[in-house]
Amino acid sequence: MEVHPRARERLLDATEDLAFTQGVAATPVDEILRSAGVAPATLYAHFGNKEGLITQALERRLMRWDEVWQSAIDEASTPRERLLAVFPALGRYRMSVPAARWCAFLGVAAESPHPGPQLQKTLASDTQLLTARLKELAVPVVAADHADALVAQLVLVYTGVLGMLLRGMDTERAVGLGLHIAGAVIEAAEGSRR
């Protein structure tokens, strides 16, 4: 007997499959409902509205990203490798989740000029995770007084990689270039410490 995921999970899966590839505004609720095989009442019972569904899909996505990134950090053997682990983690992550044109968080943020409080909080949590973890990992590499500047540069490189994915660059190539550029940025930061 075939096991069907619960309606809530089917809605989240359909949201990732559709809204994060086509865009939130371009994906009608009816299309998500049809793909998930559920009635509108199910969506409203679990998520309240479309924005609630998008918020929960992003939260689930962030949890998955956090796990993949932490695993890459755990596998790294030096402080520098742990700091750079965000790039190979991005490559792994993109292979393990439903496709998105680039970054679901950036895409939703671009399409949501006035997000509700919960969506706004979820969008901010992605940035918070990225910057806080990079800062924590940067301190053993360049010391606390240089960490903020290095993190700002690494976030810019990381975001550039995501932008190149949107422009159609192959994930492996984009991640490889990002890793190379980030390595040079770290070397420059280490050099300025000496």
Domains of the chain: 61-193 (1.10.357.10)
Q: From 32, 83, 85, 93, select the one nearest 61 (Cα to Cα).
A: 93
Q: Are 137 and 53 in contact (CB under 8 A)?
A: no
Is the model's pLDDT at 74 over the cut of 90?
Answer: yes
Where do runs of H (alpha helix) occur along the chain? 7-22, 29-36, 40-47, 50-75, 79-84, 86-96, 104-111, 117-142, 144-166, 171-193
Of the two residues 192 and 124, the one the predictor is more confident about is 124
pLDDT given at position 2:
42
Tell me how far apart the 2 most distant CA atoms of the chain are, in Å. 65
pLDDT given at position 143:
86
Of the two residues 2 and 69, the one the predictor is more confident about is 69
